[in-house]
């Protein structure tokens, strides 16, 4: 069977075509995306950019391969808000996951619902900056005329499914990241929806009770993409949900860390999960389980900013970091360039702390950046273990996983062995494998084991003694975060 996976990310649209018989990606393509950046944390895109990029991506794939595609599935950046009119037009720019301009609306909604603790205990999640719910309220407040024309709330991957099939549906994995879904029952929470708009429930699409084939590709889109009209479209999911499938995190105890634009740490669990401290998002998976997840908004964002500032390419930046000792001679980085979700600091800023005349060196700055980013993941590992989720090994994915230095840093900080899949396109491969699973049937864990290979040359083992050193430094880093919180409200 031939399955295609579309990965609709923040920086690009990617397409892979996977042959389930030969176990190989037989074609791939990518198109970059622009980003609209504005004051106050505005981060937006136009939905038309995505469909244009999808068309360009498929045009780069040989026609004979396109004609053989049996099923496709979409992985999309989570939390984005796509307001769609009755005629299918998009009414406004898409506010993205990394848009923190709607933080006041988060507080507004939570106060209407009795506060963060009460809300998260009832539906599993608070409403954090970046989640979809606050974006909907912002749109209603700031563009009431356009809001009045809105027929359907969609997420990025839902909109691409709509483009592919004409169907207005949402699956439970991505829906659980809106701040409007009760993750314990898999339904929209009426009170949360009505806190935004008494009629909002009518504008929210049906939540599929389980992953499914939602239909065949429409004849118009099939012609645009050069695909057969018999091509089935699977329900897809958010990028983290698809990356869980693409890295094999589909059963209890499997843990994946994604070192991408944002940083995520997630694990599949077979029971409804809720972290009472709200460090972990209580998401559902797109393969029928739950997906407790830590999300940081500054992963390779931080390393790219500092690398560009220093005028280094990626390899030089890593080599400089490797020259510095553990702890970067006292330098510590709080990498909150885009604000932060965990810890909850929407107005956070980047901080380089502990500078002296002797330690301001390129190597120390590079290492402090990567150490600071990785310390954030320890917040998630702590929460996993406190909630009874075992962490014995970590699968790395994302751009940062290409760095030997960063792989070793993760192994040393976590105290766990690290492995890296052969395919670096976890979300796109996960989407393709979900389509394969839903088309052919069978057990998702068995499918993941059969189709996901790992690169032994990229594995890393903790170096004796390093974990203990990092735990001491982590305590100091955590204290620095706590001490900095009042500064972000000035």
pLDDT digits (tens, 9 = 90+) for 1-43: 999 999 999 999 999 999 999 999 999 999 999 999 999 899 9
Mutual angle of helices 426-440 and 444-451, in 10-degree steps: 130
Q: Which pLDDT tens digit goes with each residue over 184-208?
A: 999 999 999 999 999 999 999 999 9
CA end-to-end span of the chain: 57
| Residue 401: per-residue pLDDT | 95
What six digits make up the tokens of 150?
A: 């809105």
Catalytic choice (239, 275, 318, 412): 239
Output the CA torsion 472→385→293→351 (10° steps).
-10
| pLDDT classification of 490: cutoffs 50, 70, 90 | low
pTM of the predicted model as reported, rounded to 2 decimal places: 0.89
What six digits make up the tokens of 260?
A: 């991408």
- DSSP for 418-433 reads EE-BS-S-HHHHHHHH
99 catalytic per annotation? no
Domain 2-240 has CATH 3.30.1180.10: no
What are the sequence ranges of the domains in the chain? 2-240, 248-420+460-490
| Architecture (CATH level 2) of domain 248-420+460-490 | 2-Layer Sandwich (3.30)
Q: Which pLDDT tens digit goes with each residue over 53-86?
A: 999 999 999 999 999 999 999 999 999 999 999 9
- DSSP for 158-209 reads HHHHHHHHS--EEEHHHHTTSS-EETTTTEE-HHHHHTT-TTGGGGSPEEES
| Residue 390: per-residue pLDDT | 85
Distances in whole angstroms, Cα of residue 374 to Cα of each of 38, 260, 267, 297, 412:
28, 12, 17, 12, 11
Q: Which pLDDT tens digit goes with each residue over 104-148?
A: 999 999 999 999 999 999 999 999 888 999 999 999 999 999 999
Q: Which pLDDT tens digit goes with each residue over 385-405?
A: 998 888 889 999 989 999 999
């Amino acid at each position: 069977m031939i399955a295609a996976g579309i990965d609709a990310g923040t920086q690009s649209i990617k397409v892979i075509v996977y042959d389930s018989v030969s176990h190989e990606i037989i074609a791939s393509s990518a198109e970059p995306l622009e980003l609209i950046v504005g004051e106050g944390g505005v981060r937006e895109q136009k939905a038309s950019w995505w469909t244009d990029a999808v068309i360009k991506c498929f045009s780069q794939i040989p026609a004979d391969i396109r004609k053989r595609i049996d099923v496709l599935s979409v992985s999309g950046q989570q939390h984005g808000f796509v307001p769609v009119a009755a005629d299918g037009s998009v009414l406004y720019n898409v506010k993205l996951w990394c848009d923190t301009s709607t933080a006041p609306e988060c507080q507004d909604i939570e106060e209407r619902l009795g506060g963060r603790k009460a809300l998260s205990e009832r539906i599993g999640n608070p409403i954090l900056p970046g989640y979809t719910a606050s974006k909907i309220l912002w749109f209603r407040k700031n563009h009431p005329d356009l809001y009045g024309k809105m027929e359907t709330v969609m997420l990025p991957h839902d909109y691409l499914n709509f483009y592919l099939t004409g169907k207005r549906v949402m699956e439970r994995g991505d829906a659980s990241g809106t701040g409007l879904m009760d993750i314990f029952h898999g339904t929209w929470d009426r009170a949360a929806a009505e806190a935004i708009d008494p009629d909002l429930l009518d504008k929210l699409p049906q939540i599929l009770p389980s992953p499914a084939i939602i239909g065949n590709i429409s004849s118009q889109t099939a012609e645009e993409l050069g695909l057969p009209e018999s091509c089935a479209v699977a329900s897809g999911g958010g990028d983290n949900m698809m990356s869980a499938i693409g890295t094999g995190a589909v059963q209890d105890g499997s843990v994946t860390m994604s070192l991408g634009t944002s940083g995520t740490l997630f694990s599949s669990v077979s029971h409804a999960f809720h972290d009472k401290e709200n460090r972990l998002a209580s998401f559902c998976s797109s393969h029928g389980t739950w997906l407790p997840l830590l999300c940081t908004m500054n992963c390779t964002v931080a390393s790219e900013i500092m690398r560009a500032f220093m005028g280094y390419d990626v390899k030089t930046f890593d080599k400089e970091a490797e020259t510095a000792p553990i702890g970067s001679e006292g330098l510590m980085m709080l990498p909150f360039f885009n604000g932060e979700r965990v810890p909850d600091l929407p107005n956070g800023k980047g901080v380089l702390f502990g500078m002296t005349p002797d330690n301001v060196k390129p190597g120390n700055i590079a290492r402090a950046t990567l150490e600071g980013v990785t310390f954030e993941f320890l917040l998630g590992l702590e929460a996993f273990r406190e909630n009874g989720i075992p962490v014995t090994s970590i699968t790395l994915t994302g751009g940062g996983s290409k760095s030997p230095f960063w792989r070793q840093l993760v192994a040393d900080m976590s105290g766990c062995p690290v492995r890296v899949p052969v395919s670096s396109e976890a979300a796109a491969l996960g989407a393709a494998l979900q389509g394969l699973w839903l088309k052919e049937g069978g057990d998702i864990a068995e499918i993941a084991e059969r189709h996901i290979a790992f690169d032994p040359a990229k594995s890393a083992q903790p170096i004796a003694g390093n974990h203990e050193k990092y735990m001491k430094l982590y305590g100091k880093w955590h204290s620095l975060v706590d001490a900095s919180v009042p500064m972000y409200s000035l």
